[in-house]
Every structure is written in C-alpha cells, then in structure tokens.
Amino acid sequence: MPKTLGMKCRECGEEYPLAPIHVCELCFGPLEVMLNWEEVSKKVSRKSIEAGPPSMWRYHDLIPVEGPPTVGLNVGFTPLVKATNLGKLLGLNNLYIKNDAVNHPTLSFKDRVVATALTKAREFGYDTVACASTGNLANSVAAHAAEGGFKSYIFIPFDLEQGKILGTLVYGTNLISVNGNYDEVNRMCAEAGGKYGWAFVNINLRPFYGDGSKTFGYEIAEQLGWRAPHHVVVPCAGGSLVSKIYKGFNELDRLGLLDGGVPTKMYAAQALGCSPITTAIKNKAEIFKPQKPNTIARSIAIGNPADGHVAIDTVRKSGGWAEDVTDEELIDGIKLLASTEGIFTETAGGVTVAVARKLAAQGRFEKDEIVVLAITGNGLKTQEAVAEHLGKPVLIQPNLTSLEQALNTERLLQSV
Amino acid sequence: MAVNVLIPTPLRKYTNDQEMVSAEAGNIASMVTDLERQFPGIGARITDEQGEVRRFVNVYVNEEDIRFLQGKDTELTDGDNISIVPAIAGG
C-alpha cells in the first residue's frame, strides 16, 4: 500500500489523485497530501522514530514521499536549547530555542522543505527545479540541486542581502534577480509556473514542500521528551510554518505518541513593516489585507501571504495571539539572543525574540510553562541589519603599552 | 472596453486551453460576467455566491493587486492586462 493516498483541498474538501499540482480547481484553495494513516499508524512508534537517523528523516513515515530520501539526507534534528539566561530576563523558567540557524546544510529551516520537495521532484521524474525566494529558500534549493544533480532556476527580488545572493551563486545555479518585491516575483513565477516543465518547489510542489516543515514540530515534541510545549512563537512570512508545526504536534498526538495531548498555543510574529497576518489576528478581522513590505526583515517580507488564512486560523484555533515589532526592536532582539544565549540569528529570528519579549510582558505565558521560540535562520546571512549597531573593535599596536592604554581609555577593564 | 485576461492553468479547461482571452468590461465585476458569458462555469471559480473575489484568488490589473485598488469595482480601460493568479507559497 502506498503511504500517500492523494491530495485534498483544505478549503472545500475536493480530492485529487497525487500529482504535481498545488491549488484546487474549484476554489483555488491550497491542496494537502493525504497520508495513509492506517499504514502509518501500524509502523510508527516512539521506538521506531528513536531508532532512525539523527535527521528529519527519522520521521520518514510521516513525510509525503514514497521511497527513501534521495536529497538532503542530513537535514534537521537541530538542537532544542534551554535558554536559561534569556528566560531569566523574560521571567520564564522553561524557555527553549529551536535552533534551525544551524540546520544542515544552508543554515535555515528551509532545508527541511527543500529536502522533501526535491526527493518528491525526483519521484515525479523532474530534472529541473526552481523557486521564488526571499533568500533562505534560494540558498537551500541551489545547494540541494547541486547535491542532487538537478538543474536549477532561482528567482529573487533584486534588493536581497549580499550574503543571501553569494550563498546562492556559490552552488552554481541560474539566479534571476527580479526588479520588484517578493510578491511581484511570486506573481511572475506563478504565471511562468507551468510554462517550462520545472518543479517549482513553492508552486507545483507546494503540498509536499510544506509538509517538510512538520518535522520542525515533531522534533520539538520529541526533544521535550514526547510532549508538546504550552506556547510556540513562530515568525510568519508566507504563513505556512506556524500551521505545519501545529499539524506536527497533532499528528504525533493522533498516533498516541505524546504525553499530555496538545495544549499548545501558537503565536505569529511579524515585522511591523510587513504585518498582514498579525494585523488581521490583532484586529480580529475575517480576512487579511495585503501590504507593501517595508522592513529590513527581508526573509519574511511577504505582503500577500499564500497561507495567511491558514496561519490566522491556526493561531485562533490554538488560542494563541500575534504581535509585530519595529526594525529597531528586531535589531535589539538579534542582539539580545546573541548576548544571552550565544546564538546569532537573522532578522526573522530577531522578530521572533522581540515578539516573545512583548508577549511575555503582556503576561501571556505562566512562568513555569514551556515556551519555544522558532529560530529559523542564521545571522551571518543578514549582517547588514546589525552592522551599524554593534560598535567597532578596539585597534592597538602589538605591545603591552598600547594594550594598557587602550584598556584605560576605552574603560575595558571595568567591564571585565 | 476590451481587456486582455491571462488565464491560470487550473482554469484553462474552461477556455479550451487558451492562455490569454479577451473580455468586454468596464470593471472587474463585469469582466467576470463577460468571462462567464463566453466560458460558462468559469465565473463561479473566480467569485463566490456574493460576487466577491474568492479569498485564494489574486487579481492584478497591469501588475497591481486589485486589493490595493478598488477591489471588484476597479475600473478598467481599453487594453488593460488582467492576471488571475492562485496564491503561491513563500520563503
């Protein structure tokens, strides 16, 4: 029996056979892959998972591909770090960082979705892959295409951070820089989508791609000793991750693998300069209004989020909330995580930390409850964001007099 | 007013696989009406029972999202290019 049975529209329930398609023909709602739960529940146990490799593929039975993984075999199973110092500052005794800033190989959670999408692309028989990206997805598709021997085409907005451009080109790909913002890149790619016979990971492979994110949730629960946390704060761009983490917890619960069910409240974090999802949640609006992004948090600057409705529904259903922060607050968030926990995250992570601080100040977390922050990307890729906010190294001559002088004039001894 | 409408893949079975069609319309709402007249069945895919554009459908007039314009009342002029695009995922 196959593991994946077909696809189903999240909006209207219409079913389709398994294919590289992503929207419902009736209502344009997003399609999701249907797993064969009868088969899956016979196979999966805590033991079977714990016996698997130290990567996201320990959950292979729950990932919507048929055969074994062929691309990205070492992705995932990133550290869940107990953040004692940051927790103390926020008044929380059980604060954790799920640290995908050190995901293998391209230092963001996107490696999870790409490993899934490219394994599926090969099963569908594609030899060329593509994506529209705000940067992290570009890095990951280029790297995995190189590893898997695919040709690749990658579309980005022209004004991305240098680190994200270099970190794409280095793998040898066709990088196309579009004179527009991400939403414009996205629209153009959707129009081009079917034209060239490519596996567009976030268009025609989206249902498979999206479910790669479930592993972020599985890992949190397993690393907490098979329990779902009370609260998870997640940065939102297209809006998929927050719902997939929640889906991950609920699937483990459905299989009877969790102690204490899923008490989890999900929280959406966005930058104020691009906040269609958090604005809709805070205003209790039925639908979100697209925005024209204006923030340094470029990796999450999506003004017209494809899964915005799903994200809003998930946050509401779980009893969570949403907050947004200014660019100054997100820079402080990056510095705060670095100076308390020794973890250097990118702008989206700064948003998550700053939003968590706001939510904590609003009294949304009990001090002993388990709170997890989803840190999804690495700070070395967005150095421009903090470059002007960190001071400079103290320059001295290679002798003790110069050192002594510097320590005195810069008052460095007092701070040691 | 004759406008050009780019039809997305999931709707091309209504337009005999034509990627680009022409419609006579003064605004987005009447464009949908004219498309339905030419290609029966297509209208209900784009708008709901209340005539509102479905929440997973994006409509652009000359590359601008109609939610930044006047929505379904957005006026059209001769030769405008309209795109109908399903929402796509991000990252």
Q: What is the pLDDT of residue B55?
A: 85
Alpha-carbon distance A407 to nearest alpha carbon in chain B (angstroms):
45
ipTM of the complex: 0.82
Work out the mean pLDDT of chain A and round it to a whole number.
95
Do the beta carbons of residue A157 and residue A181 sit within 8 Å?
yes
Q: Taking CB atoms and an 8 Å limit, are B58 and A304 in contact across chains?
A: yes
Q: Which CATH superfamily is domain B2-86 in?
A: Beta-grasp domain (3.10.20.30)
Q: Residue A373 belongs to what H/E stretch?
A: strand A370-375
Q: Does A311 touch chain B (CB under 8 A)?
A: no
Decide if A315 contacts A243 (C-beta within 8 A).
Answer: no
Q: Domain-by-domain residue ranges, chain A?
A: 4-73+110-209, 80-106+213-387
Determine how many CB atoms are found less than 10 A away from the CB of residue A6. 14
pLDDT band at residue B91, thresholds of 50, 70 and 90?
low
**CA separation for the pair A57, A68 (Å, rounded):** 9
Q: Is A366 a residue whose pLDDT tops 60?
A: yes
- Spatial contact of A264 and A318, defined as CB atoms under 8 Å apart: yes
Question: Secondary structure of A220-251 in the HEC alphabet?
Answer: HHHHCCCCCCCEEEEECCCCHHHHHHHHHHHH
For residue A416, pLDDT over 50 is answered with no
Tokens of A198: 């490519």
Q: A186 and B88: CB-CB below 8 Å?
A: yes
What is the arithmetic mean of pLDDT over B44-67? 90
Residue A2 CB-density burial (10 A; 0-12 exposed, 13-18 middle, 19+ buried):
exposed
Q: Is A374 helix (H, G, I), strand (E, B) or coil?
A: strand
Name the residue of chain A whose CA is nearest to B12's CA. A25
| Cβ-defined contact of A28 to B88 (cutoff 8 Å) | no
Question: So what's the pLDDT on residue A410?
Answer: 77
C-alpha to C-alpha distance for A140 and A76, rounded to whole angstroms? 13
pLDDT at A27: 85
The whole-number pLDDT of residue A200 equals 95
Cβ within 8 Å of residue A203, ≥6 positions away:
A22, A132, A189, A190, A193, B88, B89
Mean pLDDT of B44-53: 90
Model confidence at B15, pLDDT cuts 50, 70, 90, reads: very high
Would you state the pLDDT for residue A414?
62
Residue B9 confidence (pLDDT): 83
Condensed to tens digits (0 to 9), the pLDDT of residues A302-317 reads: 999 999 999 999 999 9
Which of chain B's residues have a Cβ under 8 Å away from the Cβ of A155? none
| CATH code 3.40.50.450 for A4-73+110-209 | no
Per-residue pLDDT, B90: 62
A319 close to B (CB below 8 A):
no
Domains A4-73+110-209 and A80-106+213-387 share a fold: yes
Interchain pair A240, B63: CB under 8 A: no
The three-state secondary structure class of A153 is strand
Answer with the residue of higher pLDDT: A262 or A196. Answer: A262
For A349-370, the three-class secondary structure string (H helix, E strand, C coil) is HHHHHHHHHHHHHCCCCCCCCE
Consecutive H or E run containing A145:
helix A136-148
Question: Chain A interface, mutation test: which of B18, B46, B56, B83, most A Cβ atoms within 10 Å?
Answer: B56
Which chain B residues are closer than 8 Å to A26 by Cβ? Answer: 45
CA–CA distance, B82 with B74 (Å, rounded to integer): 11
Question: Structure tokens of A103?
Answer: 């995901």
**Distances, alpha carbon A180 to alpha carbons A110, A164, A176, B80, in Å:** 22, 17, 12, 20
Decide: A167 and A157 in contact? Cβ < 8 Å: no
> Are the Cβ atoms of B90 and A206 closer than 8 angstroms?
no
Task: Give the tens place of pLDDT for each residue, A267-305.
Answer: 999 999 999 999 999 999 988 999 999 999 999 999 999
φ, ψ for residue A383 (rounded to 5)? -60, -30
E strand residue ranges, A112-206: 128-132, 151-157, 174-178, 199-200
Chain A residue with minimal CA distance to B9?
A: A194
DSSP A194: T
Query: Is residue A108 very low, low, confident or very high in pLDDT (cuts 50, 70, 90)?
Result: very high
Residue among A21, A28, A292 whose CB faces B56 most closely: A28
Q: In chain B, which residues have their Cβ closer than 8 Å to the Cβ of A182?
A: 90
pLDDT tens-digit series, residues A127-181: 999 999 999 999 999 999 999 999 999 999 999 999 999 999 999 999 999 999 9
Which of A23-37, A219-233, A336-350 comes out lowest in average pLDDT? A23-37
> Are A242 and A234 contacting, i.e. CB atoms less than 8 angstroms apart?
yes
Question: In the structure encoding, which two tokens stand for residue A318, read together?
Answer: 């779980």
Sign of CA dihedral A222, A315, A118, A14: positive
**Closest by CA position to A151, among listed A174, A118, A135, A176:** A174
The percentage of chain A sitting over the pLDDT mark of 90, rounded to a whole number, equals 88
What are the structure tokens assigned to A247, written together? 């889906």
User: How buried is A399 (Cβ within 10 angstroms: 0-12 exposed, 13-18 middle, 19+ buried)?
Assistant: exposed
Hey, how many other C-beta atoms are within 10 angstroms of the C-beta on A336? 20
Q: Is residue B88 scored above 80 in pLDDT?
A: no
- CA of B66 to nearest chain A CA: how many angstroms apart? 10
Distances (CA, A) of A178 to A113, A135, A271, A349, B58: 23, 13, 23, 25, 20
pLDDT given for residue A143 in this prediction? 98
Helix (H) or strand (E) holding A330: helix A327-341
Fold type of domain A80-106+213-387: Rossmann fold (3.40.50)
Q: List the single best residue of A14, A28, A109 to mutate versus B (max B Cβ within 10 A).
A: A28
**Cβ within 8 Å, pair B91-A136:** yes
CB distance from A215 to chain B under 8 Å?
A: no
Closest CA to A209 of B88, B27, B42, B84: B88
Q: Which of A136, A287, A292 sits opposite B55 (nearest CB)?
A: A287
pLDDT at A49 over 90: yes
The answer to whether A306 contacts B87, with C-beta atoms less than 8 Å apart, is yes
Residue B89 scores a pLDDT above 70: no
Q: Which helix (H) or strand (E) holds B24?
A: strand B20-24
Is residue B70 within 8 Å of residue B76, measured between CB atoms?
A: no
Cβ within 8 Å, pair B88-A136: no
Residues facing A377 on adjacent strands: A108
Q: What are phi and psi of A7, to 5 degrees?
A: -125, 155
Q: Looking at chain A from residue 395 to 414, which residues have their Cβ under 8 Å from any Cβ of chain B?
A: none
Residue found by looking up tokens 């490799």 in the block: A53
pLDDT score recorded for residue A307: 92
Cβ(A14)–Cβ(A32) below 8 Å: no
Share of chain A above pLDDT 70, in %: 99
Q: How many CB pairs under 8 A join A and B?
A: 101
Q: How far apart are CA A280 and CA A309, in angstroms?
A: 9
